[in-house]
Amino acid sequence: MNSQYTPGVVPARLSGDALVQNFADLHAPLAPHEAAVAADRCYFCHDAPCITACPTDIDIPLFIRQISTGTPEAAAKTIFDQNILGGMCARVCPTEDLCEQACVREMAEGKPVEIGRLQRYATDTLMAKGIHPYERAPGTGKKIAVVGAGPAGLSCAHRLAMLGNDVTVYDAMPKPGGLNEYGIAAYKSTNDFAAAEVEWLVSIGGIEIKNGMALGDQLKMDDLVGCFAAVFLAVGLGGVNAMGVDGNDKDGVTDAVSFIQELRQASDLTMLPIGRNVVVIGGGMTAVDAAVQSKLLGAEQVTIAYRRGRDAMSASRYEQDLAASHGVQLLFNVQPKAIHGNGAVAEIELEYTSAIDGKLSGTGETVRLKADQVFRAIGQTLTSDGGLTLEGRKIAVDEHGRTSRAGVWAGGDCAAGGDDLTVTAVAEGRDAAMDIHATLNGSV
């Protein structure tokens, strides 16, 4: 980040003890008695709306009933049947906008059943025992390549392996896990849970992970198609959009994805430099994660600047409120105009915007904020498409995840049509695996 050359950006703004406290688990896990009480609030609805609201179609009333009867391991199996990454999704899913928003208790009382925390209780209970609830089917003799060891790729690999296929997973990063390992706020996934989940997932057997292998670099599409019976692309969106304003190249200006990645991999947070005045450009989950963690590291003034109104933010209202509760200022209807400073950022100039017939334009009125660190969180782009047909800036796929090239499927953030949620990526990987297996072996 060149932060060592940026005035005002320094490590150890807070003590080690303070940082440990700040980055503790956002939601403490439920104790058995708490889980039982929370489960008893469920009405166990027939045609439960929470199931429809879950992108992976987990039978939520069933797993909550299993918790209430004292069998959390059975509850975990119900969850993993549909979502093998149910442990991480319980931590990072925007349940307030999905299953919990649809909960009848939410509609009647304004307080839903705590589905996310109950899901975590069940999955953590089973995983803590080192139990993998599935066995591989007899081998099919088929070898399949999965490119990308994030949520979609891991979900696809596990389902394919469970069905008896041999899977090689390639990933560009040093560690598997994708977004779960590198891209989410540290307080949402503590104690190296992402790495532990990957280790647990691959314990089914039949999955080999090779790191440091990127599509278009070490991996060529023609070679993959020639060597494997099928290929599933789950490469995510590795590129980061530029702001395109004067001063964008000054020291102290970087992308939020890199900041979060560096934070997630830091062995000592007291060594991670942070500014006194931080501005985050964007309106999504990455922007919120970068802003909140800046505050937790000791930044004094943190501002999220978003070009549209509050209702247009892709970050949920819960996440917006979480940022505000940590002292983050949210500015709406402003866009970057210029970044000022002598070599390093000192101020950011923002222009107010207005939308007429849905078209956004600047008003000419500007405001300047002090800033010794600016994070870009304005969307990511596909770095390699393997020569496949695109839809917009993502890989075009049909309802089964099939791409324009025979034998190649895609899912997760790199594929068109999704909503860039971890849980949706898991569903797309799972469903593509079923179609790949049926295509190669004739039936499931």
Whether 4 is in a domain gets the answer no
| Shared-domain flag, residues 211 and 85 | no
CA separation for the pair 367, 350 (Å, rounded): 5
Domain count, the chain: 3
pTM over 0.85: yes
* Residue 307, domain CATH: 3.50.50.60
pLDDT at 183 over 50: yes
Burial status of residue 298 (CB atoms within 10 A of its CB: 0-12, 13-18, 19 or more): buried
340-395 pLDDT tens trace: 999 999 999 999 999 988 899 999 999 999 999 999 999 888 988 889 999 999 99
Which residues make beta-bridge pairs with 354? 361
81-126 pLDDT tens trace: 999 999 999 999 999 999 999 999 999 999 999 999 999 999 999 9
Which of 103, 128, 153 is at the close of a domain? 128
pLDDT at 1 over 50: no
253-269 pLDDT tens trace: 999 999 999 999 999 99
pLDDT of residue 2: 43
pLDDT of residue 257: 95
pLDDT at 325 over 90: yes
CA separation for the pair 53, 211 (Å, rounded): 35
| Shared-domain flag, residues 216 and 248 | no
| Shared-domain flag, residues 177 and 61 | no
| Shared-domain flag, residues 300 and 345 | yes
| Shared-domain flag, residues 73 and 179 | no
18 CA to centre of own chain = 26
* Residue 115, domain CATH: 1.10.1060.10
Higher per-residue confidence, 135 vs 443? 135
The pLDDT confidence band at residue 7, using thresholds 50, 70 and 90, is confident
| Shared-domain flag, residues 346 and 395 | no
| Shared-domain flag, residues 50 and 114 | yes
Residue 208: partners with Cβ closer than 8 Å, 6 or more residues away: 166, 167, 168, 169
Which of 93, 128, 163 is at the close of a domain? 128
Whether 333 is in a domain gets the answer yes
| Shared-domain flag, residues 306 and 361 | yes
Whether 261 is in a domain gets the answer yes
pLDDT of residue 3: 43
Which of 376, 399, 420 is at the close of a domain? 376
Q: What are phi and psi of 27, to 5 degrees?
A: -125, 115
Domain that holds residue 110: 32-128
384-437 pLDDT tens trace: 888 999 999 999 999 999 999 999 999 999 999 878 899 999 999 999 999 999
pLDDT of residue 379: 86
163-174 pLDDT tens trace: 999 999 999 999
Whether 187 is in a domain gets the answer yes
pLDDT of residue 444: 61
Weakest-pLDDT range from 4-13, 110-119, 159-168, 179-188: 4-13
| Shared-domain flag, residues 221 and 98 | no
| Shared-domain flag, residues 366 and 257 | yes
Whether 16 is in a domain gets the answer no
201-256 pLDDT tens trace: 999 999 999 999 999 988 999 999 999 999 999 999 988 888 889 999 999 999 99
| Shared-domain flag, residues 411 and 372 | no
| Shared-domain flag, residues 249 and 368 | yes
